[in-house]
Amino acid sequence: MRFYIILLTVVYRLNSCETQGISAGTPVFVLKGEDVLLNVTKAVVLEDLDLFSWKCNNSNIVRFNSKDNKVSANYTGRVEFPGNNYSVKLKNLQEADSGVYTAVVAKESIEEVAKCNVKVQDRASLPLLTVSSVSDSSPSCSFTVTCSSQDSHINSTFSCDNNTCSQEGGEWSEGIPDTFLQVHQSNGLIICNHSNHVSWTNDTKIIKDVCPKHFDPPPPNPVPIILGFFTILILAIIGVVLWCLRTRSTRKRGIVENTVYDTAQFGAPARPQDPTDDEDSALPLSSTYACVGPHTGPPAPTESRNTAQLESVYAQVKNTTPGP
């Protein structure tokens, strides 16, 4: 929970110190180089001889009177006035600007109307995560890590078995004030966090690299692979059979379509053979076909006609070529 509060604190780029009464209250943490708004929530009305001033550790920042204001030389170019209620924005804060800021009204007596405790922090430095020792036996793997920063370090021990790790130690440890170290595990990683109230950094290591035997993926199940192989084989055989049947059918259809039949030709009868012609020059006899048409004579009796229809009618074709 504390870590998430720190993250929320970092989100605010413009820090505001809204004072209530004259208690400094909770410190306002500001990232080095950022701005802070010193806000006055109490209505202040200045008469001709009255003065209003903001101070840091009793050093003047700015003074107001009823007519104008005057900024101290140490803060020239770093002070802005966002409104008319004597609030000021202090820009580009450095670590030396940390302190208690007080708003004072000087009338017949001196009265504090606002107070704010500002702490300026630099970014957290990058930590270093190292593996101190490893004991990798067959049932489990144990190892110790060290998370260190420039000012402090912490140790934590992990015991891993079957892709599950338990942790001992590595809780939040405070080095310099308001700066923390923590070690924890998440998604197969060992994480070393170094954070303060305005920033955080980390260093990580993969648990699998430390204990490879206990984080290797399980061997694949051979049953789905075998079933998939036979399924593909059966589909391939079916495809080959269908292709062969289709190819054979296509060949048969092509043979039938390419068959050429002799066509009856009608022409003049062949000329008589001249006895003087050589045998080599003799013309072959022409094929003569007779076309048998329907009967055109008088109708025969019914019984005879029916009988005749059952008989086959042939036409005798003779060679009409005259002899020598």
| Domain ranges, ordered by start, for the chain | 2-121, 128-214
**How much is the pLDDT for 106?**
85
HSE, side-chain direction, 13 A CA sphere, residue 125: 12
Is the C-alpha dihedral spanning 241, 245, 251, 252 positive or negative?
Answer: positive
Q: What is the pTM of this model?
A: 0.56
- Asked if residue 294 lies in contact with residue 313, where contact means CB atoms within 8 angstroms, the answer is no
**How much is the pLDDT for 259?**
52
C-alpha 44: how far from chain center: 57
What is the CATH code for 2-121?
2.60.40.10
User: Residue 216 is encoded by which pair of tokens?
Assistant: 């290797």
Beta-strand ranges (E) seen in the chain are: 14-18, 28-31, 35-39, 51-56, 59-64, 69-71, 79-80, 88-90, 99-106, 110-121, 128-136, 141-148, 153-161, 164-169, 173-174, 179-186, 189-196, 200-206
What is the C-alpha separation between 201 and 70, in angstroms, rounded?
A: 41
HSE, side-chain direction, 13 A CA sphere, residue 251: 6
**How much is the pLDDT for 58?**
81
CA dihedral 275, 276, 279, 284 (to 10 degrees): -60
pLDDT per residue of the chain (324 residues) written in tens, 0 to 9: 344 334 433 433 346 665 444 456 678 999 999 999 998 877 777 777 788 899 998 889 999 887 888 999 989 999 998 877 788 999 999 999 999 999 988 887 888 888 899 999 999 999 999 998 888 777 788 999 999 998 889 999 999 887 788 998 887 888 788 899 999 999 889 999 999 999 999 999 999 898 887 665 555 566 677 888 888 989 889 888 888 888 877 776 666 555 555 554 545 444 545 544 444 444 444 444 445 555 555 555 544 444 444 444 444 545 555 554
Which residues, listed in sequence order, are joined to residue 144 by a DSSP beta bridge? 133, 157
- Asked if residue 196 lies in contact with residue 178, where contact means CB atoms within 8 angstroms, the answer is yes
What values do phi and psi take at 153, rounded to 5? Answer: -155, 155
At residue 274, the 3 state secondary structure works out as coil
What is the C-alpha separation between 32 and 16, in angstroms, rounded?
A: 15
Pairing of strands 59-64, 51-56: antiparallel
What values do phi and psi take at 250, rounded to 5? Answer: -65, -40
What is the C-alpha separation between 198 and 31, in angstroms, rounded?
A: 6
Q: Report which of 154, 155, 160 is spatially closest to residue 135, judged by C-alpha positions.
A: 160
Q: Which residues fall within 8 angstroms of residue 49, CB to CB, at 6 or more apart?
A: none
